[in-house]
Amino acid sequence: MDPAAEMARVQDFLGLKKVITEKYFYFNVTKGFPCLMKSEGHSTPHCLGKTKGRNHPSIEPFAIQRLRNFYRPFNEKFYRMTGINFGWL
């Protein structure tokens, strides 16, 4: 995942000037994921907490399918509203 690219997409979608760019992110090798600089040139980054990047519990396939079926109409409506397919179906 490239957080700067995703932020560019969000800013484009919202019609905003691109303010948050790649210079606001750095990859924290210790944590294993990108962190956000609080402001350009600021030395203290903001990294997500201990639960970020943890292993997720396994979920039975029938439970996943049941959730997909339940949320399908809501996701389809959201996709139509945004014009973006987020691949959640």
Structure confidence by residue, pLDDT tens digits, 30-87: 888 888 887 666 667 788 777 776 778 899 999 999 999 999 999 999 999 989 888 8
Q: How far is CA 74 from the centre of its chain?
A: 19
* pLDDT value for 44: 73
* pLDDT value for 66: 96
77 is in an annotated binding site: no
Q: What phi and psi values does residue 61 have, to the nearest 5 degrees?
A: -55, -35
Token readout for 9 is: 């997409």
42 is in an annotated binding site: no
56 is in an annotated binding site: yes
53 is in an annotated binding site: yes
Residue spans of the domains in the chain: they are 3-41+58-82
87 is in an annotated binding site: no
